[in-house]
Amino acid sequence: MMRYKTILLFILLSTQAVFPQFSKNIEISSYFDDNLYRSPYPISDLFTNLNLDLNFRPVNSQINFAYSGSFFLYQEAKERNFSIHELGISFSDFFGSEEEHTYYFGLDGSLRHDNEEYNYYDYRQAYIYANVRFDLNYMFIKAGYNFRYRDYVNLSYLTNQRHYGYIQMNKPFESGTTIILESDLGQKSFAGQELYTIRSGTNFPSL
């Protein structure tokens, strides 16, 4: 645990000294569970989750570079320790006669790394997304699409790809009531098997 803390402290100090445009966030949480695996033969352990987020946006740029790392650590069952790392780039900007609308898109790559005993959980992932928001005088309209490809290195039959798109209309009223209409369409393919999800609905969150 101290080794991870030392590495992260070095990264944070280095980035702050060299690149003042960096923003960072680090969180550490721990809890003790007397039956960590919900087994009839209880095993207790102390579980620690450490998260590090780094963002870099060049001066006068709409591009953002990001790194996110999560470390999952067990005090006793150290062979179950694993980490997830993600690198990404995104772009956002305004458009319209008064720059009242917004669009943004990005892509990132991530991987999960386990110890050898549990490396069947390891995966590599690519994720691409694009979204747009129209701020009209009488309503908001949001739409987006994303694609995800996840490759399980040691369990190839779990390798999958997913397409997902949505459109949402949000109408607020002076009374405080808001009506939200949303429709979603998704397609997921597992080792040659395709699954489709279609969803639509109406929400009245302020009633």
Q: Write phi, then psi, for 120 (nearest 5 degrees).
A: -70, -15
Same domain membership, residue 149 and residue 136: yes
Query: Total structural domains in the chain?
Result: 2
What is the spatial distance between Cα 93 and Cα 108, in angstroms, rounded to a whole number? 19
Same domain membership, residue 70 and residue 89: no
The structure tokens listed for 107 are 């892509």
| DSSP element (H, E) containing 106 | strand 101-114
> What global pTM score does this model have?
0.78
Average confidence (pLDDT) per 10 residues, the chain, 207 residues:
50 52 90 82 88 92 95 91 97 91 97 94 97 92 97 91 95 87 93 65 56
pLDDT tens string 151-190: 998 988 899 999 999 999 999 888 888 999 999 999 999 8
**Domain around 22:** 1-80
Q: Which residues of 99-132 are buried (b: 16+ CB within 10 A; e: fewer)?
A: eebbbbbbbbebebebeeeeeebbbebebebbbb
